[in-house]
Amino acid sequence: MRLLVVGKLNGQLAAAVKMAMSAGAKVSHVESIEAATHALRAGQGADLLMVDYDLDIRGLIEANEAERIHVPVVACGVAADADRAAAAIRAGAKEFIPLPPEAQLIAAVLAAVSDDNRPMVVRDPCMQQVIQLADQVAASDASILITGESGVGKEVIARYVHAKSRRSARPFISVNCAAIPENLLESELFGHEKGAFTGALARRIGKFEEANGGTLLLDEISEMDARLQAKLLRAIQEREIDRVGGAKPVKVDIRILATSNRDLAQAVKDGTFREDLLYRLNVVNLRIPPLRERPGDVVALAEFFAKKYAAANGGPERPISAEAKRRLAAHRWPGNVRELENAIHRAVLLSSGPELEETAIRLPDGQPLAPADAGSRAAQVAYQAAESASRAFVGQTVAAMEQQLILDTLSHCLGNRTHAATILGISIRTLRNKLKEYSEAGVAVPAPQGGVGSNAA
């Protein structure tokens, strides 16, 4: 997480900085609110601002918002003056940290405000296959299109890929293309020069430059208008961008990830998405199955969220009752992981017994989950089968696992040897030798499905 500290580095604030760095934050520092806004406008990104409460926090937040810079603020101050702390919260600060600081408090506030605590919780075999493929392609610079229904965890996968990549020490920048008005998205992505349009009072560095050296996630890219798609295509092809109102292109070195909950192939047919851009983005596709197709993940995720929200609300950790687990596994979860998380958060707040009972797990309309019926018993069988399948990996030889991974990747690439070798990180010759070995052993090998570069072996 990137932390920008605003204020004079006296002894107490300097101690807080050291504690934040020990908690994993990458820290930079400026002394004034004007310098903070200038640094953010100039592309020095931050996920959180820690600001001395003697400074004008309201003015800082308003100046940032005028530049469409939205970064949460926590206030800090010596002596913990209650009036000034309350004024900082009223001005827009999310939290207050008294100085001298406590290491546990610093770590807790950083985690709570930045919401970085999103580990990968995977038990179901179909999701494990997705993670295997993500592990294979993470080290490359190939663009990846992550698809799936709303709420399945596409951004979590994107962050996982970044963390596994060679760029993990560099920025991970996410842009929600659906949340930014069309007339502002170009400036948000590519930046602008002073005077480029009404309100452009100074140069603003865009997300492409902010992500330089790292990874840029274009979330819900299907919502981008056609004109901007053309500019994005050029940026990906040429590895350079043009600021709005700029006189010359700017070179960038980034890896592009994109997500969509829509069928982009259909969007191409409908004329709302460029086919050439789809090909550029979809070098590798990671399809995240909906939660109803990953029954082995449901209870594991529920247990994770139960612990998370017990800690967040200062309550004891309580196990989920057996009946509650049965109902969780049987429900179809149309809102996917996001809906499950909200349901468990409610259950933590509503449950009063030693366990999280089934009556405390409620749907968004307040109704409890339906009891297991004949249809949901089938889901229970599927859940148990998924759990068994995940345990089946234990005891297999490395050679058997390698064979399965190679054949699964080849199937994913529709038999294309060149693409499969690239994803697997091996030479085409090595791949062909492996496939010849499998064929001679009587193992069925996916045949190329035609097309340029299918490289039949």
The dihedral region occupied by 7, where left means phi > 0, alpha psi between -120 and 50, and beta the remainder, is left
Q: Which of 451, 161, 149 is nearest to 279 (CA)?
A: 451
- pLDDT tens per residue, range 354-391: 999 999 998 888 888 888 664 445 455 555 554 454 45
pLDDT of 4 higher than 70? yes
If one counts every other C-beta atom within 10 angstroms of the C-beta of residue 242, the result is 17
Task: Answer yes or no: pTM beyond 0.95.
Answer: no
Q: Which of 177, 125, 170 is nearest to 154 (CA)?
A: 177
- pLDDT, mean of residues 252-266: 94
Task: Pick from 56-70, 151-165, 185-199 the range whose average pLDDT is largest.
Answer: 151-165
Q: Is 383 helix (H, G, I), strand (E, B) or coil?
A: helix
Domains in the chain, start-ordered, CATH in brackets? 2-114 (3.40.50.2300), 125-287 (3.40.50.300), 296-390 (1.10.8.60), 395-457 (1.10.10.60)
Q: So what's the pLDDT on residue 451? A: 45
- pLDDT tens per residue, range 20-65: 888 778 888 898 989 998 888 887 778 889 998 889 999 999 988 8
The pair of structure tokens assigned to 276 is 């050439």
∠ CA(256), CA(128), CA(338), 5° rounding? Answer: 70
Q: What is the mean pLDDT of the chain?
A: 85
